[in-house]
Amino acid sequence: MTDQHDNPIRQAIADAIDQNEVILFMKGSPEAPACGFSARTVGILQSLDTRFAAVDVLPDPRIRQELSAISNWPTIPQLFVSGELVGGCDIVTEMFETGELAELLGAESADAVSEPAVADGGTLQIENRLS
């Protein structure tokens, strides 16, 4: 079994999850999502005025591999809140539609998912420390 301290990428992912209340591992960035699922998840978070950190998994395939090993979740995007995996796009969308996501995030419900917009300072951009 590999210890996280022996695996710098896994340790960086674990640290990022621990250090950010809301963090989205996605394809691309919030300003330029590289897939529709990531774009939809970003749009949901932005429509709830949620501040979140984001990590692009595309620059290094090891990021996605180690993230999936930590979360036991195979797909991207992956949303974590308070260190716990919430899920991917489908779960986030369902939780948004029922109001459960707004409750979890302490946000007011939005009526509809807006198209992803360029962040106006509300998004915390963390460096891709995982490559």
Domains contained in the chain, CATH given: 4-108 (3.40.30.10)
What is the pLDDT averaged over residues 61-67?
A: 94
pLDDT tens digit string along 65-117? 999 999 999 999 999 999 999 999 999 999 999 999 999 998 765 554 444 34
Residue 56 corresponds to which amino acid?
D
Q: What is the pTM of this model?
A: 0.81
The alpha helices in 1-131, defined as continuous H runs, are 8-19, 36-47, 61-71, 89-98, 100-105
